[in-house]
Amino acid sequence: MKIGKQSWSFQQKPVISSSATVTGPFEGKGAIANKIDLIHKDLYMGQPSFEQAHQQLIEDACQLTVQKASIRYQEVDLFISGDLINQMTPTNFAARHHHIPFIGVTNACATSIGALALSALIVDSGNAHYILTGAASHYAAVEKQFRYPTEYGSQKPPTAQWTVTGAGFGLVSQIGQGPRITKATIGRVMDLNQTDPFNMGGAMAPAAADTILTHLEDHQASVDDYDLIVTGDLGEIGQSITIDLLKSQQVDIPTKKWVDCGLSIYKADQNVYAGGSGAGCSSVYLYSQLLDALNKQELNRILVIATGALLSPLSTLQKQSIPVIAHAVTIESEAI
């Protein structure tokens, strides 16, 4: 059911019946390492290139997700996913092995929640029984494409963020046990003429605030309706700006209710600048830490907002500004 101009309410409340996360070694030393299903020992993951290692992350997470659900790939109706690499090569190549109908989506670091919202819409309409969805990123592959190869040793400003090497995937189902997707809001592309590719959090903050405000207005909801409001990868700077923007619109999110995935995956001594980022940032945190808390009914209702900076290497070289977007979903435990 369409709600307002940008939102959906799901009548059948699709279930996230299984999920899995796979990361690199650096994330395996982080704050949620005990929630991750598979931690690779190095960034190559047995592959000859970082891009192929990126593909391996996706394949591993998908396989584990399907295994946990005790179904076969042949029973999955759709695979909806994406990543940050040119033409989504890691995801496209991973899709070759599944033989599942495939829809590739890319909204930068907002891909995970955009794909989840789309999956829920299709399952809720009755046009699929099972959809495998998620997103991934790889630190070395993304650095090489958007900034400099890691071997170059380029220095970064404090506003920069650390791309998460990780993949998080879930199985969205018509029936089964698990947290339920009840609402979604699809963000609109915004551009406030930010041009610094080393300050993604600051660029994405207006999109996060806009989508949160739209979601609350469309669904006639308030901050009090949620146990947590979770942003994807705003980091320290983006989170601070978003808080100020929301307060200017009389929306105040208490500190205890606000979590940013980019500030929650790593430990304080891991030196990730302003926080974690990447398409794998929100997907790893959602499909591990958050779903675990929902399954244990430690949380009952959360709002997850993933943000994305829609720049490319070419647009950066041509000195263009950075368009941004944010998507949101409401996920509830079975207890509700």
Q: Are 261 and 231 in contact (CB under 8 A)?
A: yes
Handedness of CA 17, 134, 264, 191 (dihedral sign): negative
pLDDT beyond 70 at 254: yes
The pLDDT-based confidence of 150 (bands split at 50, 70, 90) is low
Amino acid at 219: H
Average pLDDT over residues 197-207: 93
Higher pLDDT, 148 or 292: 292
Cα 206 to the chain's mean position, in Å?
18
> Among 1-5, 14-18, 60-64, which stretch is predicted with the lowest mean pLDDT?
1-5
How far, rounded to the nearest angstrom, does the alpha carbon of residue 49 sit from its chain's CA centroid?
24
Arithmetic mean of pLDDT over the chain? 95
For residues 319-323, give the mean pLDDT. 94
Angstrom distance (rounded) from CA 76 to CA 286: 21
All domains of the chain in start order, with CATH: 2-173 (3.40.47.40), 180-332 (3.40.47.40)
pLDDT band at 46 (very low <50, low <70, confident <90, very high): very high
> Per-residue pLDDT tens for 49-79?
999 999 999 999 999 999 999 999 999 999 9
Distance CA 195, CA 198 (A): 9
pLDDT band at 234 (very low <50, low <70, confident <90, very high): very high
pTM: 0.96
How many angstroms separate the CA atoms of 72 and 225, rounded? Answer: 37
Residue found by looking up tokens 């003429």 in the block? 193
